[in-house]
Amino acid sequence: MADGADAITNGFQKVFGHEFNRLMCFFHVMKNLDTHLRPMPKNIKTAVRRDIELMQLCPSKVVFEKSAKLFLEKWANDSELQPFLQYFKTQWLIHLPNWYEGASPGNPSTNNSLEATNGTIKKEHTIRERLPLAQFLNVAVAKILPSWSTERDISNLNCKRFAEVPSKTLNLWTKAYQWAISDVTVLSDGKLAYYYVVRSFGTTICNQLND
């Protein structure tokens, strides 16, 4: 899991070989897409963004590829959007496609935690200076490791404990309960289909994706 830097992929290949699944941080995907969507009208930008966020929830490669095909077909007649669609197809469907949930089930969708740790190191220990490797290792051994080890020591009164299970807010439990008791009827013609129910402005919409 990383951003889109080719140097990361090349370095990983050189050390570990070519058999690996390179995941793409979804935060970085949307950050780059927002830059290319900036010239678009607000309503188009919002609709395209919503479609891509729903694509990110795809549970498998088959569903993702079908969703991508439908997405491109949906916006194919919008001439103003064609440069964006070409960029999206080349960069995020061919070059770096593994930003959907099914690319690695159960693993993080972003590398935000790693980025946050990197930000803490720069802010508190290196003071945003690019240190030579030997000097950085000295800082790590003399300052970072002792400080972090002390903070995480469970024998300390003010220990910063690692989260071992996801937190579940009351709002999340409420939404889960409302979904569980909702009365949604889905019809199928017998073919292989995937269904996603999306609540939008108080309306429940059932979308069918046939094989």
| 136-193 per-position pLDDT tens digit | 999 999 989 888 888 888 888 888 887 778 788 899 899 888 878 887 665 555 555 5
Supply the pLDDT for residue 188.
Answer: 56
Supply the pLDDT for residue 204.
Answer: 41
One domain for residues 52 and 89: yes
Give the C-alpha separation, 180 to 24, whole Å: 32
One domain for residues 203 and 146: no
Supply the pLDDT for residue 211.
Answer: 44
* 84 falls within a domain: yes
One domain for residues 91 and 126: no
* 163 falls within a domain: no
* 156 falls within a domain: no
One domain for residues 53 and 96: yes
Give the residues of the chain that fall short of pLDDT 70: 184-211
Question: Number of folded domains in the chain?
Answer: 3
* 189 falls within a domain: yes
Supply the pLDDT for residue 208.
Answer: 47
Supply the pLDDT for residue 191.
Answer: 58
* 20 falls within a domain: yes
One domain for residues 78 and 145: no
One domain for residues 116 and 98: no
Distance from first CA to last CA of the chain, Å, rounded? 30
One domain for residues 145 and 183: no
One domain for residues 85 and 44: yes
Whether the full predicted model's pTM is greater than 0.95, yes or no, is no
Domain boundary among 85, 103, 121: 103
Residue 126: domain span: 112-151
* 159 falls within a domain: no
For 2, phi and psi rounded to 5 degrees?
-160, -170
* 132 falls within a domain: yes
* 161 falls within a domain: no
One domain for residues 67 and 120: no
One domain for residues 119 and 205: no
Domain boundary among 44, 73, 103: 103
One domain for residues 51 and 137: no
In order of 104, 114, 137, 177, the CA distances from 182 in angstroms are 29, 38, 56, 9
Tokens of 36: 């290319």
One domain for residues 99 and 117: no
Q: Are 67 and 58 within 8 A, CB to CB?
A: yes
